[in-house]
Amino acid sequence: MTEVSRVIDVPPDAVFEVLADGWLYAGWVVGSSHIRDVDLAWPDVGSRIHHSVGPWPVHVQDETVVTAVERGLSLSLEARGWPLGAAAVGITLVPHGESGTLVRMTEHIVRGPGKVLPAPLQALLVKPRNTESLARLADLATGKHARARSAHPTP
């Protein structure tokens, strides 16, 4: 299993707000190129994001399914995306300092051709992509949080 982490300078609820908006998925998940639909129940267990993976015009239509959720704390997904297959992805949010969040993201391939790859090779493929995904998640969470605070300033 490959793990990456990053501290984001917003509270866990602000990070989870981005995760809970399925329409933002392609904005932070590297490789996801287009969101076609998001189940109304997202991010409840069993709900799905219907997305495309890869660059146009060779993208593949696929989906990501929620396998477990603790709102504000964690989200577990089965992310499908060929050519490697399907991966189990876990995102955990831990309060960090005064108002930050330590985000931990794990991933391992559970089905498809990529499952036969040795763990070190899987890590070589997954770690840089997930590091960039967390950087994008950080940008979305901090930007959204800053906009919300400026729209509702505290006295």
Q: Where are the domains of the chain?
A: 2-148
Tell me which of 3.30.530.20, 3.40.1190.20, 3.40.640.10, 2.60.200.20 is the CATH number of domain 2-148.
3.30.530.20
Average model confidence (pLDDT) for the chain? 89
pLDDT at position 141: 96
Q: What is the pTM of this model?
A: 0.88
- Long-range contact set of residues 16-22: C-beta below 8 Å, sequence gap at least 24: 16/71, 16/72, 16/73, 16/75, 16/93, 17/141, 17/144, 18/137, 18/140, 18/141, 18/144, 19/43, 19/75, 19/91, 19/137, 20/71, 22/47, 22/49
pLDDT at position 120: 85
Residue type at position 2: T
Is the pLDDT score of 89 beyond 80? yes
Residue type at position 87: A
Angle at 109 between CA 12 and CA 125, to 5 degrees: 85
Tell me the pLDDT tens digit for each residue of 132-142.
999 999 999 99
